[in-house]
Structure 1
Amino acid sequence: MSDREGVLARVVDEVADYVGAGLSVHLVGPRGSGRSEICALVADRLEDEGVPVLHVSGHRAWQNEPFAALTAAGIGTATPAGPRRTIGEMTTALSKQVSSGTVLVIDDADALDTYSVGALRNIHRQRRLLAVTSSRHQHPVAENTLMVGIAPSVQVRAPALEVDQVHEVCREILGAPVEAGSLARIAMATGGLVGLVRAIATVGPRTGVLEQLDGLWRLPRRTGWAPELASAVEPLVAGLDQDAWDGATALAVTGPVPLDEAEKLLERTVLDALFAHGLARHSEDGPGSGVVGLYPPLIGDYLITEGSAFGLVIARNHLAADQRLLDYATHRPRGADAALLHQRTQRQMADEVARARRAWTETPSAETALPLLVALRNTAAPRDQIDEVERRTPLADTQESAWMLAWFATWKAVELGDLKAAKAVLDDGLTRLPTFAATLEGARAHLQFQTEYVPELPSVEPDPRDATGAELLGVVAAERLLAAGMVEQARNLLESQQPQHLHPAGLHAFLVGLADVLGGDLERGIDFARDQLQRANESGDAMLIQAHAYLCVLGLSIAGRLTEASQAAFQSLSSSSVAAYRDVAHTGILTLGAEIAMAQGRPEYARSLASQIGGAKVAFGPWPGMVASIMAPPSGRMPSLKELCELVGQRLDAGYVTGGVFLAVEAVERGANENKHITRAASLATGTESPLLHGMGAYAAATAAGNIDALREAIVTLADAGALVFVTRAAITLAILQREAGDLAEAADTLDIAWERSEISGNRAGLFRRAATHIGLSARESEVLRLLPDGPTTASLAADLEMSTRTVETHLHNISRKTGVSGREDLARVATTWLRPAPDGDYSRDPSGDRHFTNGS
């Protein structure tokens, strides 16, 4: 792969593979998707492999000029005064130019003049051409297009970049990571089109669209638009007639709307024109008929400022009606659908803030303040707006007033990191609202549980009027049990509770799902968490969205479903309602997301996520992955083994047995041996009611003691609990212990089995790099191993690496000796599995530079 291919390497590989198999390829995608760049990269790849390539390009300005495209490519060129070539002459000239094995690479094939199309289709009938063509989507398909005339062929879509690829592009241009919420907004606004991503990253720092703060690039404004970006967006809308221009402007103002509303907003012919032009998309991820909106959404920002005045009138007339808002919960939309739904959500939230503010302004009370506070937090409103609501809302002797104080206390403690101010709010509330002491004391205990230690259950007796307080105290009692690993006791308690208030009910549901995960019923816990996440999205409560999203990521990662876990993490971080919301669940998602990225062999994306964890105001949370210093230490260096073991002890002292056991596994994987805190964590795990913690405690104890037999038993326990990621990690540890005992061949067999059985994890090269680090191949040995899967002879390897044949043979012998694997075929196999090199060629680096980093929670 050429370094120049970067994030487009996968699609270049795909196109080159099809061509190598004798199939023509038609590459489709909107302007800005990298179509032309992909064509050029494919041509370079083919030429590097010795394949002759003929480049042809279409130009809309030349469509009425016969044979313009072929003439520009140097085929059948006539003298200025000579006669125009005939079809037969041009076909003959083209036939001479296209030698055996030549591949035609035709960019903007939809803009070819018809004479060139005719000549190309004629030569294809005479001898089958291999061609790589590119165009925009054409709906309906024209009869005289070249793409209909060349067969057999396949269609490949230009890629919409995933968030880690967006980060790769931005990081290359900006030289520093982008904050997770801002990164998600860039991905959504651009629809993942590489041209627009590059435009924002290049223009953004110079226009104020992007600002650097604490080493991270951020989007300080709600929109990523700046007038300087117009030149990047205008090619996307070029060619629209006046009616389509008006319609696109109207759709930009209304934002994505249900299909039936889109048909009321715009005439059918206008909608069809926008669809045919590739500017309108219909996403079916919402309920009913789905939504229709502009794609990519950045076009909407452009048209709102530069669009048609008549289109603005169309939109205003439509919005004058009291139209219903679309309520939906995203399933797992990606690419254009995700961008469309993200845009729709932002519009809905802005509307919700306006409605809630009007109601509160007319009647300031706790009842009207709470919806406004939630809406303000969901849109990352400035602190002074929340301060204003706190200052101007009178208290009354009501349940809503008590819950409003609990909300303010939570915001101050978790979002602002000011636990003292939070407790002051609750103390004042106890004086003014004694009837609702249970709500206020329950909120205090829950905050202490989230930020300090596992508290004693408050002894307050709930007043009959304080139903929410009774529910909140029940939640605190259950989370105390789960923190201690007492899963069955917690389940029994949770089953006896039926909370009705939104927030206690959401926390109760989170604990039900967590009990399933810790109890070894991972599938049920994951499915339940996903259902609850959908409900939380419908309610718009950012705290609950993050809590259930964290549980999804945790459960999926423990189950070894790394690809799904990574997607769940991104969906949470990119959600409009939580992109700027920071709490302990957000820290957990970032930490787990960074660990998953490392396990997948994506260190740059891991570094991007890890660099953002340090922004959390609360350094610790109660559950696994909620310890910021593991991935983002304040000192800038990863904790030493001693410090990590002390952290295990600190977690256990605070009452967080579950989190402490997860940290103990991290410590032993980094090299901790017999240690009082590790021994204590393992012992406490044995006394829990959690099959998962039993297996993890046994894993930690066996690894610290170097006991191979005990480690095998721990692997069985972990497998019974469904914890595939820990089964794989423990198997890697087992292989390392086998190597230290001198059983290299057995260790290689262990790694073979671990790789095969972890197939559900998808890309997992980073997960195995502890073993690769232990094997310790030299840079030259790694280079030799990397080339083996391509099947070169020893002589050709020597020539490629500019070595002697004897030196290559020596390297192969050393690789076999170090790995315990003999034979070129087996070495080639492990080079593509558990010994696959990391993307940066370095097995020993982590997001903060610590060479002992592994992928634990």
Structure 2
Amino acid sequence: MSDEEGVLARVVHEITDYVGAGLSVHLVGPRGSGRSELCALVADRLEDDGLPVLHVGGHRAWQIEPFAALTAAGIGGATPAGARRTIGEMTAALNKQVENGTVLVIDDADVLDTYSVGALRNIHRQRRLLAVTSSRHQHPVAENTLMLGIAPSVQVRTPTLEVDEVHEECRSILGGPVEAGSLARITMVTGGLLGLVRAIATIGPRAGVLEQLDGLWRLPRRTGWAPELASAVEPLVAGLDQEAWDAATALAVTGPVPLDEAEKIIERRVLDALFAHGLARHSEDGPGSGVVGLYPPIIGDYLIAEGSAFGLVIARNHLATEQRLLDYATHRPRGADAALLHQRSLRQMADTVTRARSRWTEMPSAETALPLLMALRNTAAPRDQIEELERRTPLADRQESAWLLAWFASWKAIELGDLDAAKEVLDRGLERLPGFAATLEGARAHLQFQTEYVPELPTVEPSPRDEVGTEVLGVVAAERLLAAGAVEQARNLLEGQQPQKPYPAGVHAFLTGLADVLGGDVDRGIDSARDHLEAANQGDSAELILIHSYLSVLGLSIAGRLTEASQVAFRTLSSSSVAAHRDLAHTGILTLGAEIAMAQGRPEYARSLASQIGGAKVPLGPWPGMVAGIMAPSSGQMPSLKELCELVGQRLDAGYITGGVFLAVEAVERGANENKHIARAAALAAETESPLLQGMGAYAATTASGDTDGLREAIVTLADAGALVFVTRAAISLAILQREAGDLAAAAETLDMAWERSEISGSRAGMFGRAVTHIGLSGRESEVLRLLPDGPTTASLAADLEMSTRTVETHLHNISRKTGVSGREDLTRVASTWLRPIPNGDYSAGVRHFTSGS
């Protein structure tokens, strides 16, 4: 793989593999997807492999010129003025050109002139050609296209970049990381098309679309569009007739709509033309008939600014009579579908703000203010709008007023990081609304639990009018128990509660699921979190979406289901409904997401997530992963081991035993040995009612003391608790202890078993980085090891690495000596499993664990 291939390397490899197997390849994709670049990269790779390549390119302007494409490729030679090559002459010239196994690489094959198509198909009938052709999607397929004339063949689609690939491309252009929410928006608005991603990354900083703040590139909240981007979008809509131009503009304004609604806005034949042109997509990831929208969504931004005036009128007339809004957030779309539904979500959120503001303006009250407050937070409204809402909303001696004050206090404490201001709001509320003291004091205790320490349970007795106060106090009582690891007591308490208010009910469900995870029933906790996450996505509370998503990611990662956990994290971080929130669950998702990415061997994406955790207004929270300070401190330096152990002690002093035990495991894996805070965490874990915490505490204690027998027992406890990720991590620690004791063969067997039993985790080479670091291969030894799975002989290895055969044999001997693995076959096996090197990976303790759940 060459550096130039970058995010396209996988597809280049796929295409060249097919060609190597004797199959032609039809590469299909829209404009801006990298088709031409892929053709060039494939040609370079084939030539590097020693195959002759003939480049041919189609061009719409040449379609009426006979043999234009072949002549431009140098076939047939010069012709006398006014003369034309005959079909026989061009066929003979082409036949001579493609002798000796030449591979044809034909870009824009869908716009080849028909004479060139005929000559190529005629040669193919005589003797099979091997070709790589590219074209746009053709619906319906033309009869005279070259894409039907060369067989046997396979179709390969140009890649739709995932978020980590978009980050890789953006970072290479911008020279720095992109904030995760902005990264998700770039992925969605471009539909993952390489050309558009590059356009935004290249033009964005100069056009004000991208701004750098605190070392991170961000999309300003006001817009993701600038007129300077028009030249990148115009090729996508080139060739539309006036009716299609009007229709596309109307669809841009209305946003993705259900199919039956699209047919009310646009005539069926015109809609079909947009589909045929590749500009309209139909996603079936919503209820009913799915939605129809423009793809990629950035086309909509362009048309709203530059499109048809008549199309704008069509859209306005439709919106005046049809305001149905649908929610597709519970589904899990990818690629083009995700882009369409993301765009739909943005429109819905803006509509929600408009409606809520209208109701509040007509009748300012606590009842109308709270929906507006939620909507403003969901859309990242400026601070002054929320402060105006607080200032101008009259309070009455009613439950709703006390509940509204609790939400204003939460906004100040969590999103602004101003706990004193939050307490002032609650103090003033107690003076004005003494009959609802339980709601206000319960809210104070809940905020203290989230941001400071585990508080005492308020002794206030709820009045008969204060039903919400009873629910909030119940939440505080349960979270205090779970923070201490009193799982069974918490379960008994939660089973006796039935909160009705959405937020207390949502937190009650979160705590119930967390009790399952800590209690050793991880799968039940995961299922509960997923069910409640789907329900939360249908509501309007970003806080509930975040806490249930956090629990899903935590449970899935503990269970070792890393791929699923990563997908949940990404969907949440890219969701329009939660992108504006920077609360503790958001920090936890970023932390756990970065840990998962590192375990999967994606260090750059992990760093992208971790680099923004330092932007959290509240640096510490109660649950695992909610510790921003060790991830991206303002100094840019990772905390020392001593500082990390002190943080364990601080968490325990604050009453957060659950979070402290997770952090103690982190410290031990980074090298903490005998330490009073680690010992205290282990002792407290042993006294809990949580099999998971008991196993983790035993893992930390035995690893710190070097007790291999005790560590084996801890691994059994963790396995019984369903904590596969910690079983794997503990096994890696066991192997390191075995190596330190000089038993390298046993350590290799332990790592073999850990790798095999962690198959459910999918990509997981990064998780074994501590073992790779401990083995300590040299750079040249790593190069030899990297090539082993491809099966070269020692002689070919020596040639590839420009070494002598003797030197290669010496390196292989040293690798065997360091790893405890002997024999070429076994070395090859471990080179493709737990000893596999990670590109751009850094396995040093300070980097490998900079994202660990804590």
TM over 0.5: yes
What is aligned with 2:446? 446
Partner SS for 1:15: helix
Decide whether the 8 Å contact of 1:103 with 1:130 is kept in 2: yes
- 1:118-137 CA distance string (max 9 Å, x none): 21122122222221111111
Partner SS for 1:247: helix
- 1:616 paired with 2:616, answer yes
Decide whether the 8 Å contact of 2:248 with 2:303 is kept in 1: yes
Distance 2:777 2:850 in 1: 18
Q: Where do 1:373-392 residues align within 5 Å?
A: 373-392=373-392
State the shift of 1:299 in Å: 0.2
Partner SS for 1:155: strand
Distance 1:525 1:142 in 2: 53
Distance 2:435 2:389 in 1: 23
Q: Name structure 2 gaps, 5 residues minimum.
A: none
What is aligned with 2:412? 412
- 1:433 paired with 2:433, answer yes
What is aligned with 1:224? 224
What is aligned with 2:151? 151
Partner SS for 1:539: coil
Decide whether the 8 Å contact of 2:664 with 2:681 is kept in 1: yes
Q: TM-score, normalised by structure 2?
A: 0.98
Partner SS for 1:118: helix
Partner SS for 2:612: helix
Q: Where do 1:606-755 residues align within 5 Å?
A: 606-755=606-755
Distance 2:238 2:851 in 1: 50
Over the matched positions of the two proteins, sequence identity in percent amounts to 86
Decide whether the 8 Å contact of 1:662 with 1:696 is kept in 2: yes
State the shift of 1:345 in Å: 0.4
Partner SS for 1:131: strand
Which residue identity does 2:805 align to in structure 1? T
State the shift of 1:246 in Å: 0.5
Which residue identity does 2:320 align to in structure 1? A
What is aligned with 2:468? 468
- 1:541-598 CA distance string (max 9 Å, x none): 1111111111111111111111111111111111111112101001101111111111
Partner SS for 1:461: coil
Decide whether the 8 Å contact of 2:243 with 2:270 is kept in 1: yes
Distance 2:853 2:220 in 1: 33
Which residue identity does 2:435 align to in structure 1? T
State the shift of 1:478 in Å: 0.9
Distance 1:522 1:77 in 2: 72
Decide whether the 8 Å contact of 2:770 with 2:845 is kept in 1: no
Distance 1:354 1:634 in 2: 38
Partner SS for 2:56: strand
State the shift of 1:487 in Å: 1.5
What is aligned with 1:166? 166
Which residue identity does 1:600 align to in structure 2? Q
Which residue identity does 1:127 align to in structure 2? R
- 1:301 paired with 2:301, answer yes
Distance 1:568 1:444 in 2: 31
Distance 2:708 2:87 in 1: 78
Decide whether the 8 Å contact of 2:560 with 2:761 is kept in 1: yes
State the shift of 1:77 in Å: 3.2
Q: Name structure 1 gaps, 5 residues minimum.
A: none
Partner SS for 1:133: strand
Distance 2:729 2:851 in 1: 10
Decide whether the 8 Å contact of 1:844 with 1:853 is kept in 2: no
Partner SS for 2:405: helix
Distance 1:80 1:681 in 2: 90
Which residue identity does 1:831 align to in structure 2? A
What is aligned with 1:323? 323
State the shift of 1:80 in Å: 4.1
For the aligned residues, what is the CA RMSD?
Answer: 1.3
Which residue identity does 1:398 align to in structure 2? R
Distance 1:394 1:159 in 2: 54
Which residue identity does 2:63 align to in structure 1? Q
State the shift of 1:702 in Å: 1.2
Decide whether the 8 Å contact of 1:209 with 1:221 is kept in 2: no
State the shift of 1:13 in Å: 1.4
What is aligned with 2:423? 423
What is aligned with 1:832? 832
Q: TM-score, normalised by structure 1?
A: 0.98
Which residue identity does 1:216 align to in structure 2? L
What is aligned with 1:797? 797
- 1:579-619 CA distance string (max 9 Å, x none): 12101001101111111111111111111111101111101
What is aligned with 1:248? 248
Q: Which of 799-808 and 361-370 deviates more?
A: 799-808
Which residue identity does 2:826 align to in structure 1? D
Decide whether the 8 Å contact of 2:592 with 2:851 is kept in 1: no
Decide whether the 8 Å contact of 1:770 with 1:854 is kept in 2: no
- 1:787 paired with 2:787, answer yes
Decide whether the 8 Å contact of 2:601 with 2:841 is kept in 1: no
What is aligned with 1:812? 812
- What is the aligned length? 854
What is aligned with 2:527? 527
State the shift of 1:100 in Å: 3.0
Decide whether the 8 Å contact of 2:591 with 2:853 is kept in 1: no
State the shift of 1:856 in Å: 4.7
Distance 2:518 2:849 in 1: 28
- 1:117 paired with 2:117, answer yes
Decide whether aligned partners of structure 1 residues 748 and 854 sit closer, same or farther in structure 2, where only a CA change above 3 A counts: farther
State the shift of 1:841 in Å: 5.3
- 1:207-265 CA distance string (max 9 Å, x none): 11111111111111433111010110000001111111100000000001111100111
Distance 2:14 2:96 in 1: 29
What is aligned with 1:347? 347
Distance 1:381 1:749 in 2: 56
Which residue identity does 2:466 align to in structure 1? D
Decide whether the 8 Å contact of 1:599 with 1:855 is kept in 2: no
Distance 1:267 1:845 in 2: 62
State the shift of 1:276 in Å: 0.7
Structure 1 consecutive aligned stretches of length 4 or more whose deviation exceeds 6 Å: none
Partner SS for 1:106: strand
Which residue identity does 2:535 align to in structure 1? R
Distance 1:113 1:221 in 2: 47
- 1:158-180 CA distance string (max 9 Å, x none): 11111111111111111111111
Distance 2:328 2:802 in 1: 60
State the shift of 1:268 in Å: 0.3
Decide whether the 8 Å contact of 1:665 with 1:856 is kept in 2: no
Which residue identity does 2:135 align to in structure 1? S
